[in-house]
Chain A
Amino acid sequence: MTSITRREALQFAAAITLAAMRPQLAMGMPAQSNGYGTDPTLLTPVATWSRILTEAQRALFTALCDIVLPAAGAHPSASQVGVVDFLDEWVSAPYPAMQRDCQLLMSGAAELDRRMQERYATPFANASAVQQREIFESLFGADLPLRNFPARVVNLISGGYYTTTAGYADMGYVGNRAMAVFPAPTANVIQQIDAAIANLAKRW
């Protein structure tokens, strides 16, 4: 999952160049035309843009992913199922909504590092999980422009995680398998429903 392919290595090299151009995009330049277009191939999907996160930023988001969703029992952590790659793809995308997120996540990440350095003299990625949680929570309730950062970055990590097979297993999605016939709820389930409704009906 985490081994880097040749294609990704090339994308990474390209990203370094792109990252230097980023401030222009942030100033409201029109969206780049390197999106996947209005008729992408659906059978072999590919993100058409280069990823922009630096190694240092990827390290920070790896750490953040794993305090937001650390491994728990049989469930892997967010970084173990490729959520850092997903975040990189997301903040690098040429679409307006993702570019707004890019601004927010870049500013938020920089602020996490700044606060960690100020308090513990270490980059966010290298700090202990306790220190990372403390600094992350220090941003809760922050003023604009970072007010939305904590909830948004958690939502994106969560969204990246719960669209994977591992996320499905955790949240309780067991579909995407052919079934000749969709079965009716069992008698036990109907009993459970009736009991729940009988209970609710007391308040009606």
Chain B
Amino acid sequence: MPEIIALVIDPGPQFWIIEMSNTRDEVYDAIIVGSGAGGSMAAYVLTHAGLRVLLLESGRAYDPRSETPMFRTNADAPLRGAGTTDKPFGYFDATVDGGWSVPDEPYTVAEGSTFKWWRARMLGGRTNHWSCASLRFGPYDFEEFTRIGVGVDWPIGYEELATYYDRVEQLIGVFGAAEGIENSPDSPPGILLPPPEPRAGEVFAQRIFDQRFGVRVVPIHTAVLTRPLPDRAACINATPCMWGCSIGAKFQTPTSLLPTALKTTRLQIRTGAVACEVTLNSQGRASGIVYIDRKTGAHIRVRGRSVVLAASACETARLLLNSKSAMFPQGLANSSGQVGRNLTDTAATSIYAHVPALAELPVVNEDATSLNHVYAPWWGFRDQAQGRLGFATGYHTSISTGRRMPWIEDAFVNKPGEPPVYGAALRERVRYSYGAAISLASRGGMIPNDDCYCDLDPTVKDRWGLPVLRFHWRWGPHERAQSQHANKFFREVIDAMGGTVLSGAEPGEARITSGGEMIHEVGTTRMGAKPGTSVLNQHSHAWDVRNLYVADGGSFASHPDKNPTLTILALAWRASEHLANSLIKREL
């Protein structure tokens, strides 16, 4: 920690500001808030452009190289690794001080809404436990309003982002193949790493989808190395990715973008730094950040020629809404009233089934990357164009099967309240159930609607007295119809496989995940072509504050079925390049 040398009162905010000896005179070219995908990409691009950057991370330092429980099993963990309120995704999950709740940092959910907000308080943020699906948005995804009359168009098209997708895929390492799928663009030759072979059960699913339904199942694109990169090893086909990766095969920012950016010597990282206000100068430009030192509670001001917010879509919206001033009484960069609005998440539904043909496949090591190797991209464009589906957004199908490391729940083969099988019959049941298991899950797009947003709770504060977010949520008719469709389709697939559905709602009652449950929340500071209806312009800087950029999922103007992280990285690269050029040309 830098030495504290002075204590002054800032006339604006209601708290003490402490000036730091080594920052008092330092004005960084950029201050970045958040070390997840977007913030780390911004740090990488800006430092490589020769700029001096301070990155603030609210959680603790975290090093996957020394902290990942490689080759452990759930038997090594308390409670066999089962999820608890302390570690909802299990003991070994690479989430520090986070989950659906964070100690002393609450959020609220409005009456009648359901919403869950996953956070992590660690260097690298949620890239540490993410499951690495890296699908490009397609041309249709940038022009939903023009194409199908719902949502809004982006101010940019696929062509403007394509080159950034190329660069991101090469830099972070993404495996996959060019398959010529409608609205799922191929990468140019030589960009993607070779995809791993499919598991036997994935081949089975691939052939059923194709032969019975004419639906293609192809290699998924995933940010795991199947070839080594400098300072990062190739995947060794063991240990769940969700626990992190000590060898750097899985893309996590603390083993990829951040060490590379640090090597430039132009990046400083401060952990335990909870950003609480974006400060302004007299011209209404961002002048820096006030953060709270998590250990001491001190409020510390740091100065920058620009500010990049990448705290996650919702945390960034909260920071803006909490940065009120005479110039921005409704929150910073919120003259449109759109900060916190247009909140979307992936709409998902799933079924779990047993398929006898899978249980008969030979017992081999199928850990592989620990992730799914294939998926079914959305295939219903023609039916949608002919108005036969009743929903405007598509879904891709996640197919999970194979003999991967068992979780305790894999052996819960008896239903509550029913007479259990036990003894020799139990052994038989577990063997069958483990081998026969398959789950099909939809990952569906969402149309922004007026009922889904976050604002500041009028009364609840966090441990530092800062207002917390209140979530409002209701799935719209498109997502509900889409989930019904997925549920019906998945039942037909399992039937064609000769299987039995064990869980997943009855037909007509498809359960959609809660808002936020897929941890794909985006849209809260969306970009647009006009300042009245959007927060950011096409370069991801605020219409209202020219040197204030957003590099997380907040900037998304639509929410297709593809997982958001790859697009967050591509947009962060593009935004950071624009910022770097503006700084170098002294336009800011």
Contact = CB atoms under 8 A, between A and B. Distances in A.
A-B interaction: yes
Given A39-B97, A67-B423, A75-B427, A148 B200 contact: no
Interface string B477-495: 0000000000000000000
| Residue with the highest number of chain A CB atoms closer than 10 Å, among B71, B77, B408 | B408
Interface in B459-508: 496-498
Given A38-B99, A150-B420, A158-B430, A204 B212 contact: yes
A148 B80 CA distance: 21
Contacts of B197: 182-185
Interface in B355-374: 357, 360-369
A42 to B, nearest CB: 4
A172 interface: yes
Contacts of B80: 86, 159-160, 163
Contact of B236 (A45, A67, A178): A178
B531 interface: no
A163 B406 contact: yes
Interface stretch (B331-339, B391-399, B411-419, B522-530): B411-419
A48 B406 CA distance: 24
A189 B198 contact: no
B406 A98 contact: no
**Which of A148, A154, A163 has the largest number of chain B CB atoms within 10 A?**
A163
Q: Which of B71, B208, B424 has the most CB of A within 10 A?
A: B208
Contact of A95 (B84, B204, B360): B84
A9 interface: no
Interface string A16-37: 0000000000000001000111
Interface bin, chain A:
35 or more
A118 B239 CA distance: 50
Interface string A135-170: 011001100000110111011001111111101101
Contacts of B263: none
A59 interface: no
Given A45-B91, A148-B417, A38 B411 contact: no
A150 B421 CA distance: 9
B520 to A, nearest CB: 23
A200 B412 contact: no
A131 to B, nearest CB: 15
Contact of B405 (A70, A72, A176): A176
A173 interface: yes
Nearest to B236: A178
Given A45-B76, A47-B79, A96-B85, A172 B411 contact: no
Contact of A180 (B102, B211, B236, B411): B236
A158 B412 contact: yes
Contacts of A159: 80, 82, 408-409, 411-412
A201 B417 contact: no
B496 A200 contact: yes
Contact of B87 (A38, A158, A193): A38
A181 B227 CA distance: 10
Given A140-B419, A148-B416, A163-B81, A185 B424 contact: no
Interface of A: 31, 35-40, 42-43, 45-48, 67-70, 72, 75, 86, 89-90, 93, 95-98, 133, 136-137, 140-141, 147-148, 150-152, 154-155, 158-165, 167-168, 170-185, 189-190, 192-194, 196-197, 200-201, 203-204
9 contacts: A45-B78, A164-B75, A167-B411, A171-B406, A172-B435, A176-B73, A180-B237, A189-B361, A196-B360
